Amino acid sequence: MQTAEVVIIGGGIVGSSIAYHLTAAGCADVLVIERESAQGKGSTGKSMGGVRAQFSTAVNISMSLYSIPFYASFEERLGYPCGYRPQGYLFCATSQRHLDYLRANSETQVALGLKDVRIIDAAEIRAGFPELRSDDIVGGSFCPTDGFVDPYSAMNGLMAWAAEHGAKLWKNAAVTAIERDGQGVAAVETTRGTVATRKVVNAAGAWAAAVAAMVDLELPVEPLRRMLVPSEPFDGFPHTAPMIIDMSNGFHFRPEGLGFLLAWNDPEETPGYKTDFEPAFVEKILTRAADRVPAFEGLAVNPKRAWAGLYEMTPDHHPILGAAPDVPGFFLANGFSGHGVMHAPASGKILCDLILRGATDLVDASLLGLSRFAEGRMIEETAVL
């Protein structure tokens, strides 16, 4: 029987980051198990790739304050590119309530160490982006170190570095069972054989609940489809623009290639493993795009280039990180609610710390434990895109 010190189930960006951090900390006997023929076929490869520190809760802000500098130094640190572009995030407030919310959030962000976030007035937004319809914009919030990464490149870089330093990656390997004994986790059964191990990490993304069920654990993580629409080449809006968020309805967009990438979270979407793009979504999003950016009226898009991916949602939009209660040796890295790519570096660091030494100083890990749901101490994130 093969052995591994730590087995990570799921080879997406979160699993790859955990493998990297464990290996960098000196744990060379790490095995990542990926059921697909290639990494990134789950949520990672379908992500919008945004990274931001403009959140409302201390734990999410703290995770961003580790993750964004990590991406900024990624190539220097790992020798691989991750495509980090610090073009910023601009939240456009269309009511005084929105502006007060952004101001309160920015005070929390600054208190935790975010240096560059600032509240800006409507005149500055109009001057910077005259292409926006701004009659209802009352101000906004901007942070220049927010921006975008290439999720696929980042995932590959993390896993490649880990593999060069002793970690192993199995592809086309599905986990079929997790064995336990009196001490806790004992082995992982896969379609490539059984691996004896005392430490298993569930990093299975939108499919995490099924993995947790293998150790009789009920995990409140469910898949929710999110669709993205890239435009054809378009030069009627500056390609130096940040991610721009219309707070009146949640529509947001950013430059991508020679065009723009459009996103909007349809409130009528229902949970489920739906990964097909719905053509009717094109009209919904283009209506909102043209309303905020009149130049987007008639913006050319090819529905065949649009795609759908899965968010892995928890009831409070925060991840579940750390040791599972009552299952010694079983660790959770699940439920990122759309923030898996941006918080992958911090998640890898937190899980590495908890696995190797039982504690982390990056965040208060007790806030993110699975038991918070049963104990009624959820931490609601309101700045969800």
The mean pLDDT value for 212-239 works out to 97
* Count, residues in the chain: 385
What is the pLDDT confidence band of residue 41, given thresholds at 50, 70 and 90? confident
Q: How far is CA 80 from CA 27, 155, 158, in A?
A: 21, 10, 8
Mean residue pLDDT of the chain comes to 96
Asked if residues 177 and 189 have their Cβ atoms less than 8 Å apart, the reply is: yes
Which pLDDT belongs to residue 86? 98
The mean pLDDT value for 173-184 works out to 97
Q: What pLDDT digit, counting tens, does each position of 132-158 carry?
A: 999 999 999 999 999 999 999 999 999
Which pLDDT belongs to residue 45? 85
Position 382 pLDDT exceeds 80: no
- pTM given for the model: 0.96
Chain centre distance of CA 51 = 8
- Residue 84: is it exposed, middle or buried by C-beta count within 10 angstroms (0-12/13-18/19+)? buried
Q: What pLDDT digit, counting tens, does each position of 360-379 carry?
A: 999 999 999 999 998 988 88
Distance CA 67, CA 338 (A): 15
**Domains assigned to the chain:** 2-49+151-221+316-374 (3.50.50.60), 86-146+223-313 (3.30.9.10)
Position 213 pLDDT exceeds 70: yes
**In terms of pLDDT, which residue wins out, 32 or 42?**
32
Asked if residues 292 and 339 have their Cβ atoms less than 8 Å apart, the reply is: no
- 3-class secondary structure per residue, the chain: CEECCEEEECCCHHHHHHHHHHHHCCCCCEEEECCCCCCCCCCHHHCCCEECCCCCCHHHHHHHHHHHHHHHCHHHHHCCCCCCECCCEEEEECCHHHHHHHHHHHHHHHHCCCCCCEEEEHHHHHHHCCCCCCCCCCEEEEECCCEECCHHHHHHHHHHHHHHCCCEEECCCCEEEEEEECCEEEEEEECCEEEECCCEEECCHHHHHHHHHCCCCCCCCEEEEEEEEEECCCCCCCCCCCEEEECCCCCEEEEECCEEEEECCCCCCCCCCCCCCCCHHHHHHHHHHHHHCHHHCCCCECHHHCEEEEEEECCCCCCEEEECCCCCCEEEEECCCCCCCCCHHHHHHHHHHHHHHCCCCCCCHHHHCCHHHHCCCCCCCCCCC
Position 383 pLDDT exceeds 70: no
Which pLDDT belongs to residue 385? 61
What is the pLDDT confidence band of residue 298, given thresholds at 50, 70 and 90? confident
Position 94 pLDDT exceeds 80: yes
Distance CA 72, CA 52 (A): 12
Distance CA 222, CA 219 (A): 9
Which pLDDT belongs to residue 379? 81
Q: What pLDDT digit, counting tens, does each position of 251-282 carry?
A: 999 999 999 999 999 999 999 999 999 999 99
Position 329 pLDDT exceeds 90: yes
Distance CA 228, CA 317 (A): 20
